[in-house]
Amino acid sequence: MLLASFLSGLTGVVGHQVGFQNPRNLQQALTTAVAVRGAEKQERFAEIFYTKFDKSVRLSARSDDREPA
């Protein structure tokens, strides 16, 4: 009953992933939920970091070696 209550309270990607794993006990469900949540956080951090990095670097290629006027 405790496992069912825990699973019913999970939402979003975490809820889906834990449900797909079909945990046999609360420990398995909790371990999966924590792992999925950590992966979501890491993914968001990477998106934010690389988006800012890409916008801060501007590279330009010139077809000739002349200095701009």
Give the Cα separation of 37 and 19 in Å (integer): 14
Query: How high is the pLDDT of residue 51?
Result: 61
- The angle subtended at Cα 7 by Cα 18 and Cα 32, nearest 5°, is 30
- At residue 57, the pLDDT reads 53
Check pLDDT > 90 for residue 15. yes
Higher pLDDT, 13 or 68: 13
Map residue 65 onto helix, strand or coil. coil
> Model-level pTM greater than 0.75?
no
d(CA 16, CA 7): 10
Taking 70 as the threshold, does the pLDDT of residue 69 lie above it?
A: no
d(CA 62, CA 52): 25
pLDDT in tens, 20-64: 999 999 999 999 999 999 999 988 887 776 665 555 555 566 655
